[in-house]
Structure 1
Amino acid sequence: MTVVAKADDWDIHALPEQYTTLKLDILLDENESDAIRRGVIPDDMGEKWFCYFDNNTLYQHRSWSGHCIDVIEFVAEGNQLRAVSAKVNRDASQYGNTDDAEDVTRITEMLGWLYQQ
């Protein structure tokens, strides 16, 4: 049985008021899209991320603190998903990066990690 992560599966906090919005254009194939829709529930604290998908939006939280780091908006294209934008945490007490290009790279890599789970 496939487990699908939901918001109440983890102790999480909403994205803070300090965030930036980044433009994305990442098309995922059907298998990748299915994996993104399942999200990830960490098996142990060694896994750094809790991610869940709701209403064409992927929420990515640090597993240790529950802080929301990214809220990624998708549009459906048939059975595929296209990431079109991301709100990225800019509260320095929760997330230290401020480089937009680095965040786009990290988000792209994390999407790859998610669909390998």
Structure 2
Amino acid sequence: MTEIASRDSWNILPEPSAIVWFQLPLSLTEGELHKLQQGHIPRVMEDRWFVFHENEWLIFCRSWTGACIYGLHLTPKLDQTAQYKCWASRDIDHYRQADIDSDKAALSETLSFILEYDEGDAAW
């Protein structure tokens, strides 16, 4: 059984005070929502992300540095495409991206990885 990630499952930094807000269109099934709510705990050194769910927010932290980079307000909007409220860090000490389109692409890629991840898989 997969361990459910929590804030205490990994050594992370506080969430950034400098953020930018954006919307991300997603269509999630009930199973996908449940899988995302379990989060993701890195299993190998090459695994890039630690992800946990807390107070309706999915928080994405870099596995090596513990820096919180993204947040996604994970409210149930099942089986329909909906706009999900997100934030991206703009703390230049931990994240130097300044392009919303790049943030959307990276967050979408990470979500896809979590949804496709199997405990037996190697890191991405």
The structure in which a higher percent of residues are strand is: 1
TM-score (norm 1): 0.89
Q: CA deviation at 1:55?
A: 2.2
* Number of residue-to-residue matches in the alignment: 117
Q: How does 1:36-51 map to 2 (within 5 A)?
A: 36-51=36-51
1:92 paired to 2:92: yes
- 1:60-112 residue CA offsets vs partner (Å, 9 max, x unmatched): 00000000000111221368895611110011110111000111111111111
Q: 1:77 maps to what in 2?
A: 77
Q: Which runs of 5+ in 2 are unaligned?
A: 118-124
Q: Which runs of 5+ in 1 are unaligned?
A: none
Q: In 1, distance between residues paired with 2:103 and 2:58?
A: 15
Question: Runs of at least 4 residues of structure 1 off by over 2 A?
Answer: 77-83
Q: Are the equivalent residues in 2 in contact too, given 1:59–1:71 (CA < 8 A)?
A: yes
CA RMSD in angstroms, aligned pairs only? 2.0
Q: Identity over aligned residues, as a percent?
A: 28
TM-score (norm 2): 0.85
1:57 paired to 2:57: yes
Do the aligned partners of residues 13 and 7 (structure 1) sit closer, same or farther apart at CA in structure 2, a change above 3 Å counting? same
1:31 paired to 2:31: yes
